[in-house]
Amino acid sequence: MERSSICYSYPAMPRTLDPEFRQALAARIRFYNEMGIYDFYRRPSAEDVAPDEIGTAVATNHTQSGEEMSPRRSAAVATPVLAEDNIFEVIAPKPEQSVSDPVKALKIIREDLGDCTRCVLHKQGRKQIVFGVGNPKADLMFVGEGPGADEDTQGEPFVGRAGQLLNNMIKAMGLEREQVYIANIVKCRPPGNRTPEREECETCSPFLMRQIAVVKPKVIVALGAVAAKTLLAMNASMMQLRGRFYEFRPAGARSNDPNWDGCKLAVTYHPAFLLRDPRQKGEAWKDLQMVMTELGLKTPKANA
Ligand code: URA
């Protein structure tokens, strides 16, 4: 199976920083940490973007199956800074990293999120923040786009019609909903169920990245284009994104975590899209079978 290592192609920080600059930078980062901000990004220049990995994907942003997301503002993908000598990682450990119990660690992230007002979604009619649900030590994690009306009311991801289909997909894999972890790219309902804006995704997804780093799943399934493109920080059609695994390490995860090397990420259609176009269910099932094989789950025999 073809594998990619796109998430390891981060541009390196300069090896040695001027001590005065380093001190000023450390003070600034401490200031941000005190405000609950732990993830830092820089927009790479055109030379930073590997042409075979991201450049071609950006260039071929053709619409496919109604599962598209608006193109990135530029080829400048929001790239997590994860060099070996990453100053940010050294001086900005996240509070949950000192806790071994994943339930407690997730609680810390939830508390950090607070009554979030970091993006405009907080003032556009959300009833509550929809954090995530499921097994805090799950091998398998599903990531959707954002809460809809039912999720906004109940405070739990994927509880409406799309959620029922997701439950059936999980069952078809031989699992129970309680065995997996389910979350979204944005934690507040976009008004009228519109697609979340890039800025909303970029503001909210660091919290999801922290949830992923705590749960440490073996496989993440990105449901739909918004989840796939945000998690992979690349712009491509669903047709290009599906059918393979990507090596994935969430931005900000410790690169020296002895218990976790990152995980694999697969892309499939969003259940809401499958409700609109049930003919694609067979394709989604192929994606899930690929995931089942990776997880060592029994797949149904062909023609059985
Ligand atoms: N669609 C999503 O992307 N997430 C939900 O939680 C519900 C519907």
For CA atoms 223, 266, 40, 57, give the dihedral sign.
negative
The predicted pLDDT at position 59 comes to: 29
Kindly tell me if the per-residue pLDDT of 63 is higher than 60.
no
Which pLDDT belongs to residue 127? 98
Per-residue pLDDT at 74 exceeds 80 = no
Q: Is the CB of 230 under 6 A from ligand 1?
A: no
Is the CB of residue 188 below 6 angstroms from any atom belonging to ligand 1? no
139, pLDDT greater than 70: yes
For the segment 292-296, the average pLDDT, to the nearest whole number, is: 98
Exposed e or buried b for every residue in 191-212, given b needs 16+ CB within 10 A?
A: eeeebbebebbbbbbbbbbbbb
Ligand 1 pocket, residue 157 CB under 6 Å: yes
Report which of 141, 25, 16 is spatially closest to residue 92, judged by C-alpha positions: 25
In this model, does residue 291 exceed pLDDT 80? yes
Q: Counting runs of H as helices and runs of E as strands, what totals does the chain give?
A: 11, 9
Q: Give the integer Cα–Cα distance in Å for 86 and 40.
A: 11
Q: 290: buried, middle or exposed (CB in 10 Å: 19+, 13-18, 0-12)?
A: buried
Question: Between these two residues, 39 and 268, which has the higher pLDDT value?
Answer: 268
Per-residue pLDDT at 173 exceeds 50: yes
Q: Is 148 in the pocket of ligand 1 (CB under 6 A)?
A: yes
Q: Are 282 and 111 contacting, i.e. CB atoms less than 8 angstroms apart? A: no
Average pLDDT, integer, range 170-187: 98
287 Cβ closer than 6 Å to some ligand 1 atom: no
Q: 154 pLDDT exceeds 50?
A: yes
Q: Is the pLDDT of residue 77 over 80?
A: no
How many whole angstroms separate alpha carbon 238 and alpha carbon 61?
A: 10
> Which whole number is the average pLDDT over 183-191?
98
Residue 90 has pLDDT above 70, yes or no: no
CA nearest 174: which of 1, 295, 302?
295
Q: Kindly give the distance from the C-alpha atom of residue 272 to the centroid of ligand 1, in angstroms, as a whole number.
A: 8
At residue 169 the predicted structure's pLDDT band, cuts being 50, 70 and 90, is: very high
Atom of ligand 1 nearest to the CA of 184: 4
Q: How far is the CA of 159 from the centre of ligand 1 (A)?
A: 8
Those residues whose C-beta lies under 8 Å from the C-beta of residue 156, and which sit 6 or more positions away, are 130, 133
Residues shown for the chain? 304
190 lines ligand 1 (CB under 6 A): no
- Nearest residue by C-alpha to atom 7 in ligand 1: 158
Residue-wise pLDDT for 234-268, tens only, equals: 999 999 999 999 999 998 788 788 889 999 999 99
Q: How far is the CA of 191 from the centre of ligand 1 (A)?
A: 13
* Token pair in block for residue 283: 């394709």
Beta bridge partners of 246: 4, 265
pTM: 0.77
Cα–Cα distance measured from residue 175 to residue 219, given in angstroms and rounded to the nearest whole number:
14
Query: For position 100, what pLDDT does the model report?
Result: 94
Whether 144 is in the pocket of ligand 1, judged by its Cβ within 6 Å, is yes
Rounded Cα distance, 258 and 216, in Å: 12
What's the whole-number average pLDDT of the chain?
A: 82
DSSP one-letter string for 198-253: HHHHHHHHHHHHHHHHHH--SEEEEESHHHHHHHHT----HHHHSSSEEEE--TT-
Measure 87 CA to ligand 1 centroid, in angstroms.
36
The pLDDT-based confidence of 21 (bands split at 50, 70, 90) is: confident
The Å distance, Cα 98 to ligand 1 centre, comes to: 31
Longest dimension (CA), the chain: 68
Q: Tell me, what's the pLDDT at 26?
A: 73
Confidence (pLDDT) at 113: 97
Token couple for 303: 């023609």
Q: What is the pLDDT of residue 159?
A: 98
The model's confidence at residue 219, banded by pLDDT at 50, 70 and 90, is: very high
Tokens of 230: 């945000």
Q: How many other CB atoms are found less than 10 A from the CB of residue 124?
A: 14
What percentage of the chain reaches a pLDDT higher than 70?
73
Please give the Cα distance from 210 to 207 (Å, whole number): 5
Provide the pairing of β-strand 79-80 with 133-134: unpaired
278: amino acid identity, one letter: P
